[in-house]
Amino acid sequence: MYGRERRQSGDLDDETLRAGLSPAQLNALETLEHFGWTLRFVRRPMFRDPVPVLFARDGKRFVVLQADGTLDEAPDLVIRD
């Protein structure tokens, strides 16, 4: 592996993960959490909107929450273990 590991092993607090999300994303996130989805991480690309990634209860299925609160069920993200 090149360089140091950038992934954080510890869980970030909920407030930090939600920082910068749009009101539509926050509303959708609250609804999805009632159905067992969890906000696992948020990608924050430079000069672009945050990309929140939610995982299903089983941990195998994931979706991206768009800025308008809709879901991208087939995102082009590569998730590493």
Query: Angle at Cα 40 formed by Cα 24 and Cα 23, nearest 5°?
Result: 10
The verdict on residue 68 lying in a domain is yes
What tokens appear for 78 in the block? Answer: 């590569």
Q: Are 79 and 61 in contact (CB under 8 A)?
A: no
The verdict on residue 81 lying in a domain is no
The verdict on residue 5 lying in a domain is no
The verdict on residue 39 lying in a domain is yes
The verdict on residue 46 lying in a domain is yes
Q: Are 69 and 58 in contact (CB under 8 A)?
A: no
Domain that holds residue 55: 14-72
Supply the pLDDT for residue 13.
82
The verdict on residue 57 lying in a domain is yes
Supply the pLDDT for residue 44.
92
Entry pTM = 0.80
Q: Give per-residue pLDDT as tens, 1-40.
A: 566 666 555 566 888 899 989 999 999 999 999 999 999 9
